[in-house]
Structure 1
């Protein structure tokens, strides 16, 4: 896997600078590309598509703090974390739902998703309008661009509701100023893009050739498509798409839950799609081998006024007291997901390294850890072998090598369980739920006493069991807030934290409205 990462990132490094920076410019600030027709060939198209993979790693709206703010901190199981001197505005804005219309994180989230859409539009213009490609490699590239465009619009529509639909190459700033389209139209556009992606993408990333672990597949497109139907409660389509992913025989559950998150678990059998990061030996002093991401660094253990040891990162996205108290003590995933300050990390079977974690102490500057609990799914950033090899010892770069697990097979199984239950097939739902719970128990079988088997009693009972299972299986991964919203549970669960119904959607950034000259309008409740 490591060798393939080196090949993949060497190819990314070779992308012409024009393409490398294209996706990073802000929406409405884009200048048209000036490449001539002679420049446009299959290699250029490939470069544009590889730039979209780079965007997942480098644009903050996809794998850094803005993504964490929107996906994780708005739920009841995660909080800002860090220490009392760092990012307190996030507590107000995301932990207590006092949204702002003009702040760095929401502006970045909006801009970065439209930057990705813009890059996808340019690639599709290159492929379809300029080159009129028909070779197999270029058709795969079209499938990749369609996936990234659908992925970006899905993030936007579930976050903002109605948003501008731009499905063409923007050649002038004025062309990028369009009014919002209704969410139903956005979903139709997502459907058309994912239908194309499914038809054009390969079954396995091996079909791209050696060194391309992590590139998009039919399974990724079908999984994302199922997620979009989940948000629309179209249970028949969810079931059909999840069944197709399962029938492909490309994926399986990893026997040990903790192994998903270890470095050797990257692009493993449970992985459907990951943001790829690579940091080579000596990267701390040699940027040429650093294709890392602050996705991992941002969520590492943070020490107050600490020496280098245990000051591993920024300390964001930490578990809440409520998650710790609600989670059944006999579920091994609790210890595999939550790292407790002042305790041993539990060793390999529980996702640790056999280290004794320093105690929590507050306020800042006292030398203890800044939070009581940490996201253990990112704790691989404490791998002493990799830290020494890369030279990234502390918060300046620790854990930059961690991939972001965006789509994994467990979600396919639980989506199918939820769909089957809503379609009146509770027995099948229970069977799929059991796959997840048995793995969580350590594969102890149906007669186990920990994480016990749950039999179907009635639809309401199974519905709640599936909701609970999603909470434990995907804790700290960014599912919780959006699950609560789509279930209609957000008012009851998040209300005590300050949530009101209008907080299901975020206000459109005021800067985007101002740049549009009023063509773009604010969400009605804001």
Structure 2
């Protein structure tokens, strides 16, 4: 646990164009506890530790904390799901949500969201660059093993930020060293394939080296591990294999091979691999609450109780109608605290109705829920299906954010990456073996399909296993396929080419063919960045 150790110092850094000379001063919107310029920093072991801890709270991890313009809006992690129409923001009080539902994919509607993503990614890159540049210079202050470990952690988070950046924006400026002046700050966009090669180089070095421990995430104090680096690289290869780079068989093979290294590494495993229950002690409820299970390869940490660093997904887990609930003493069941209840990420009917009737994940209080029984034993029914995976009754009853961590990479995903990579390269028997491990845990029979049907089954399994872990938009982008219904409670979905697919909730409750144009799979380059950086000459195609 690093939450109680973090002192984010204001290290001088330059993120990109308009972020010049801003401060590394974010920790969940708190001010730094001490401030040093670059010439004063990197002098002590405490300085180095602070800089490394800062990697876990800015950049990509911070997307779990930010929204569009403040107020009751979807978090940045939710934007892709809302864009897809497979999840619905019920409040509809922000330009982003309404433009997405109405299919008005223009710069004016999406610029502010794109700016937040762009800025946060480059904050993460800047922090990582400072660690990478300075940790190896601390001989005499840090031992060699510690310096190498810090360097590896920096490379992990730089790779994570660039991976998110290239998926969201395509060609982007490549900044690999910290800026300490304005000289040479205006970078042109580097082709996406070269960004992927840069990411691969960083991750291969740390995934195949000895600087990171071969441990599970929680066994390593929630710091970066070798399986984390391997898992991220497997994700990179899977995305690289698909659109828009279309790396194909070579990268599906690499994805499967890297995923198998995590599998054979022996540090991670499924909870209840032989099948779980449908009760409150199920594997899926443990995934929700655990801070020790080795199914978790990487998670965003929270601890409101001890460190006032809270998980605010809970208020987005359940609709505003629950604020009106009264117990048998006519007292409110939930308190508003610093936030209000609203459902900014409601699952679509096509998702809920596609779970097989015997799939434990689709049952009550596994990933989703319809009813809640309060402390006085009175049962309440939701107007809309809620997100049980985020629901934290302690936080909501006491009017505060919660304590649960948010899974970012789980072992189940590694099994499905291996399955897909193998299936797409003709190794179907082995692919089914990994797929069926995930299905068995959920109470399903073994998949026996081959060919396209096997690929469709794997994609469906990803959607059913990670409905609230924000994988679907990346899957749509890399496959250019979209899930359509294929029989109620059948356990199947029909993955259809995006251009001709029946897109959900465009607007809410309406199905519209072709409602997501291909250009909308990338965000527009933020206007502020283009205005500040004369080298950013061309907008992403289609954004007018």
Against the structure 1 CA distance between its residues 338 and 39, is the aligned structure 2 distance closer, same or farther, given a 3 Å change threshold? closer
Q: Which structure carries more helix by proportion?
A: 1
CA drift at 1:80 = 1.6
Distance 1:291 1:19, change over 3 A: farther
Secondary structure of residue in 2 paired with 1:406: strand
| Distance in 2 between residues matched to 1:329 and 1:99, nearest whole Å | 41
C-alpha contact 1:24 1:55 (8 A) present in aligned 2: no
Which residue of 435, 438, 445 maps to 1:436? 438
* Cross-structure match for 2:424: 422
Give distance in 2, aligned partners of 1:87 and 1:319. Answer: 19
Contact kept, 8 Å, 1:25 with 1:115, in 2: the verdict is: no
Tell me the equivalent position of 1:447: none
1:271 matched residue in structure 2 = 296
Structure 2 residue aligned with 1:448? none
Counterpart of 1:363 in structure 2 is none
Tell me, yes or no, if the aligned pair for 2:217 and 2:294 is still in contact at 8 Å.
no
User: How much has 1:25 moved relative to structure 2?
Assistant: 12
Distance 1:48 1:127 in 2: 9
Structure 1 residue 317, shift from structure 2 partner: 1.2
1:248 alignment partner, one of 259, 265, 280? 265
Is 1:302–2:320 an aligned residue pair? Answer: yes
Task: Give a deviation string over 1:301-359, Cα, whole Å, max 9, x none.
Answer: 43376475346634221101222233333322112455344x357x9xxxx99873334
State the alpha-carbon separation in 1 of the partners of residues 14 and 21 from structure 2. Answer: 11
Offset of 1:54 from its aligned partner?
Answer: 2.0
Residues 160-206 of structure 1: CA deviation (Å, up to 9, x unaligned): 11111110101124543211100011001101111222222111268
**Does the C-alpha gap of structure 1 residues 266 and 38 become closer, same or farther in structure 2, counting only changes over 3 Å?**
closer
Distance in 2, matches of 1:517 and 1:47, equals 35
- Shift of residue 235 of structure 1? 1.5
Cα pair 1:243 1:416 within 8 Å, conserved: yes
1:481 is displaced (CA, Å) by 1.6
Contact 1:296 1:402 in 2 (8 A): no
**Aligned-partner Cα distance in 2 for 1:231–1:206:** 23
1:491 matched to 2:494 = no
Distance change in 2, residues 1:398/1:519 (3 Å): closer
Q: Contact 1:61–1:113 at 8 Å: present in 2 too? A: no
CA drift at 1:266: 2.7
Which residue in the other structure is 1:259 paired with? 285
- 2:459 maps to what in 1? 467
Match of 1:445 in 2: none
- RMSD of equivalent CA atoms: 3.3
3-state SS, counterpart of residue 294 of structure 1: coil
What are the equivalent positions in structure 2 for 1:57-136 lying under 5 Å apart?
59-60=62-63, 65-81=74-90, 83-84=91-92, 86-87=93-94, 89-93=96-100, 96=103, 98-100=105-107, 103-128=111-136, 135-136=144-145
The answer for the alignment partner of 2:506 in structure 1 is none
Q: Which of 192, 206, 213 matches 1:202?
A: 213
Distance 1:313 1:376 in 2: 14
Q: Is the 8 A contact 2:301 2:406 kept in 1?
A: yes
Displacement of 1:373 in angstroms is 1.7
Cα gap change, 1:67/1:38 in structure 2, threshold over 3 Å: closer, same or farther? Answer: closer
Distance in 2 between the 1:58 and 1:242 partners? 22
Q: Distance in 2 between matches of 1:22 and 1:164?
A: 13
Q: Deviations over 1:7-49 (max 9, x none)?
A: x32211xx25435999999733536973337852433222111
Question: SS of the residue aligned with 2:53?
Answer: helix
How many angstroms apart in 2 are the aligned matches of 1:100 and 1:51?
32
Contact 1:257 1:333 in 2 (8 A): no
Work out the CA distance in 1 between the residues paired with 2:453 and 2:423.
Answer: 10
1:9 and 2:8 aligned: no
Structure 1 residue 60, shift from structure 2 partner: 3.8
How far apart, in 2, do the equivalents of 1:296 and 1:164 lie? 36
Q: Is the 8 A contact 2:298 2:410 kept in 1?
A: yes
Please tell me whether residue 317 in structure 1 is matched to residue 317 in structure 2.
no
CA distance in 1, matches of 2:58, 2:8: 15
Mapped to 2, the partners of 1:464 and 1:218 lie a distance apart of: 31
CA distance in 2, matches of 1:95, 1:354: 42
> Is the CA contact (8 Å cut-off) linking 2:81 and 2:470 kept in structure 1?
yes
Cα distance in 2, alignment partners of residues 466 and 206 from structure 1: 26
Q: Is the 8 A contact 1:66 1:105 kept in 2?
A: no
Gaps of 5+ in 2: 25-35, 68-73, 242-250, 273-281, 326-331, 482-497, 504-511
Aligned position for 2:46: 43
SS of 1:245's partner is helix
Q: Report the more deviating stretch, 459-468 or 244-253.
A: 459-468
Query: In the aligned structure 2, how far is the partner of 1:136 from the partner of 1:498?
Result: 52
| Inter-partner Cα distance in structure 2 for 1:326 and 1:453 | 17
1:339 aligns with 2:361: no
State the distance in 1 between where 2:415 and 2:534 align: 46
- TM-score, length of structure 2 as denominator length: 0.77
Is residue 208 of structure 2 the alignment partner of residue 216 of structure 1?
Answer: no
Deviation at 1:113, TM superposition (A): 0.6
From 152, 172, 185, the counterpart of 1:163? 172
Equivalent in the alignment of 2:248? none
Give, in whole Å, the separation in 2 of the partners of 1:21 and 1:353. Answer: 54
Q: Tell me what 2:310 maps to.
A: 292
Q: Tell me the residue number matched to 1:452.
A: 445
* Cα 1:459–1:246 shift into 2, 3 Å: same
Change (3 A) 1:425 1:10: same
Aligned equivalents of 1:424, 1:220: Cα separation in 2: 27
Question: Would you say 1:142 and 2:151 are equivalent positions?
Answer: yes
